[in-house]
Amino acid sequence: MKKILTAEDDREINRLICEYLSSQGYDTLSALNGLDAVRMVREQEDISLLILDLMLPFQSGDMVLTKIREFTDIPVIVVSAKSDTRSKIDLIRMGADDYLTKPFDLDELLVRVEAVLRRYDAKSAQDEVKLLTCKNLTLDVTAGTVTVCGSVMSLTSKEFSILELMLQSPRKLWSKANLFESVWGESYISDDKTVKVHMSNIRQKLKKLDPDNEYIETVWGMGYRLIT
């Protein structure tokens, strides 16, 4: 269940927002001043979104936004009576994800909440570390590294791309033409030895780090595939 913090000093508005979001399946928290809002975001790591009023006691909403952006990228929807474009632009540049002008309809708030959370979840999914593995080999797509038996394997960019392709489709039989056209982005010349040389280099590096395992099989006359 997504947890949403509403930072709003008007107790009635705060209560209405929390009750409405709770009825829509969200877990809700409330803060009545800026200092509590920053503290709660810092201490409760499972907060998914902050609804932030600008006119807060002790610490204004723009100060809250600045402070929390120092340690978290959770989405923030600013709510304010200010309707001028300049204020909206400034807050978006400070790190707000959306801006809603008071007074607002709770159904509109819900639509904004859902949209912001969808965008954030999609971005988070893209940012997640993607690991591809085979036996004692691990390829980190995000970091661009390969380790074998816990040791880093030094690869050229083309060698890395070849391994990444093969690990993404571990059962596929790759012809030299497939590999060359996918990695180099050019038409394959039948007598070109580029793929063969790169594959030989990859095998030697794998053998050096893991002499007890074979990772790539040559299917004579057809191409290469992983030995899983």
Overall pTM surpassing 0.75 (yes/no): no
Q: Grade residue 126 by pLDDT with cuts at 50, 70 and 90.
A: low
CB neighbours of residue 153 within 10 Å: 21
- What is the tens place of the pLDDT at every residue in 168-222? 899 999 999 999 989 888 888 877 789 999 999 999 999 999 999 999 999 998 9
Is residue 36 within 8 Å of residue 52, measured between CB atoms? no
- What is the tens place of the pLDDT at every residue in 136-147? 999 998 888 999
pLDDT of residue 93: 84
Which range among 20-29, 85-94, 121-130 shows the weakest confidence by mean pLDDT? 121-130
pLDDT of residue 192: 73
- What DSSP letter does each residue of 6-35 carry, written as one string? EE-S-HHHHHHHHHHHHHTT-EEEEESSHH
Q: Grade residue 127 by pLDDT with cuts at 50, 70 and 90.
A: low
Q: Which helix (H) or strand (E) holds 194?
A: helix 194-209
| Long-range own/partner contacts, residues 208-213 (CB < 8 A, 24 or more apart) | 209/148, 209/149, 209/151, 209/153, 210/135, 210/136, 210/137, 210/148, 210/149, 213/135, 213/136
Q: Which helix (H) or strand (E) holds 86?
A: helix 85-94
- What is the tens place of the pLDDT at every residue in 145-177? 999 999 999 999 999 999 999 998 999 999 999
Q: Grade residue 32 by pLDDT with cuts at 50, 70 and 90.
A: very high
If we measure between CA atoms, which residue out of 69, 62, 53 comes closest to residue 17? 53
